[in-house]
Amino acid sequence: MSSEQQRISVAQSCSKYEPGEAILRGFLAEEDISCSYCEHWSNEKDDCLLDIFDSQLVNLDQT
Ligand code: SF4
């Protein structure tokens, strides 16, 4: 399971982040960056479809 805070942190450093539909349609602000709003995120799987969420997470500075 990922927390929203983790998804926000990961998306900010992820080079594959792509704004999903909610952002493109203007429902969310562009600066609301989170895996939750990324084109590659699956809410069903609670995971990144590119399978890079975990590796991104461990690369983050956890302080
Ligand atoms: S969902 Fe995947 S591709 Fe999108 S920002 Fe998160 S880790 Fe990166």
The band of 17, judged by pLDDT with boundaries at 50, 70 and 90, is: very high
Beta bridge partners of 38: 19
Distances (CA, A) of 10 to 5, 25, 28, 46: 9, 23, 18, 14
Q: What is the mean pLDDT of the chain?
A: 92
pLDDT exceeds cutoff 80 at 63: no
Percent of the chain with pLDDT over 90: 75
Domain ranges for the chain, please list them.
Answer: 4-59
Q: What is the pLDDT of residue 47?
A: 96
Are 5 and 62 contacting, i.e. CB atoms less than 8 angstroms apart? Answer: no
- Quote the ligand 1 centre to 50 CA distance (angstroms): 7
**Rounded Cα gap, residues 57 and 34, in angstroms:** 13
**To test the ligand 1 pocket, which listed residue (2, 4, 6, 35) has its Cβ within 8 A of the most ligand atoms?**
35
